[in-house]
Amino acid sequence: MIQPELQEKFRADYNPDGSILRRQQIKMLDILLHVDKICKEHSITYWLSSGTLLGAMRHGGFIPWDDDLDIEMLREDFLRFKRVFKDSEDYIIQTPENDLHYIMPYVKVRDTHSVIEEHSGGENFKHKGIFIDIFALEYTHKFANHQTHMRLRRIRKFGNRHKRNKFVDAVIAFRKMLAFNSFKIWRALSNLFPGQELRHTYGTWCYRKARFEEDLFPLSTIKFEGYDFPAPHNSDAYLRKIYGDYMQIPEVKEVHTTKIEFLG
């Protein structure tokens, strides 16, 4: 972890208390605590991932200039999580099944008391609150991941290029159905010729970097914003395979200034 003095400087520069970014981060932390509670109640295994895990290792919490929060779980747990999650007054789950213009194969759990301005078609989403991302991992082949990702990307571009109407919605629904059904074919082929690496599930853009069981299991715990959360067994190896020397502070060229409305 970096020196406390440097961390305090980063907080002052990028996400001081009361700033829009810090308020967003606190909302995401609240969502994570809600997800953690559900996972514990239903014995669902998950862990902090990607930049969120990096933040825990290097900063003890959010990367000061970061505006997202990611967790991962194996596909079997991912499917179970989708089944057991119940929408409430405070939190909802966003999936390809319950939001037509939501094309991604991973899910978002969103806060219902905020509205966040997103890009890449987010203006057409049914749900628009601050969110965290939940990614599914399974054994796949990189080629299959690339092909399915490009297919979903074309659908998303189509939706972004055209003003929403009944015809556009029908085209997106049809193409989306074909794309997600094709995942079943790729998965059947992968069962015949098993992959050796865990990757984000079919259609996900961040499939390029594999995950490895020896780095993930058995899980450990890590401090994140003062709370203990599940983490890979060897978080250092996990992060180095994705980012290289992740303890090196990058040059921060810009901080996201997403427009957010807090509703209460």
Question: CA–CA separation, 90 vs 81, rounded Å?
Answer: 17
pLDDT digits (tens, 9 = 90+) for 236-253: 999 999 999 999 998 876
Quickly state the pLDDT bin for 142 (edges 50, 70, 90): confident
84-90: long-range contacts, CB 8 A cutoff, minimum separation 24: 84/38, 84/42, 84/44, 85/38, 85/109, 88/112, 90/34
Tokens of 221: 């715990």
Burial of residue 10, with CB atoms counted within 10 A of its CB: 0-12 exposed, 13-18 middle, 19 or more buried = middle
Quickly state the pLDDT bin for 256 (edges 50, 70, 90): low
The lowest-confidence range among 197-201, 207-211, 230-234 is: 207-211
Strands 131-140 and 70-74 turn out to be: parallel
Q: Is 101 helix (H, G, I), strand (E, B) or coil?
A: coil
Model confidence at 146: pLDDT above 90: no
Q: What letters, b where the CB count within 10 A reaches 16 and e where it falls short, cover 195-229?
A: beebbbbbbbebbeebbeeebbeeeeebebbeeeb
Peptide linkage before 218 cis (omega within 30 of 0): yes
pLDDT digits (tens, 9 = 90+) for 2-41: 888 888 999 899 999 999 999 999 999 999 999 999 999 9
Model confidence at 264: pLDDT above 90: no
Tokens of 205: 């853009």
Nearest to 110 by CA among 91, 135, 133: 91
pLDDT digits (tens, 9 = 90+) for 64-112: 999 999 999 999 999 999 999 999 999 999 999 999 989 999 999 999 9
Model confidence at 46: pLDDT above 60: yes
Is the pTM higher than 0.95? The answer reads no
| Contact status, residue 110 vs residue 91, Cβ threshold 8 Å | yes
Question: CA–CA separation, 98 vs 174, rounded Å?
Answer: 15
pLDDT digits (tens, 9 = 90+) for 167-188: 988 999 999 999 988 888 888 8
- The residues with which 223 forms a beta bridge, in sequence order, are 228
- Indicate the domain borders of the chain: 4-262
Note the Cα 66 to chain centre separation in Å. Answer: 13
> Bigger pLDDT: 60 or 1?
60
Nearest to 140 by CA among 211, 196, 99, 101: 196
Q: What is the mean pLDDT of residues 137-164?
A: 86
pLDDT score, position 221:
98
Which stretches of the chain are DSSP H helices? Answer: 4-14, 20-41, 50-59, 75-84, 142-161, 166-192, 213-216, 235-243
pLDDT score, position 121:
61
pLDDT score, position 250:
87
Question: CA–CA separation, 141 vs 146, rounded Å?
Answer: 9
pLDDT score, position 164:
83
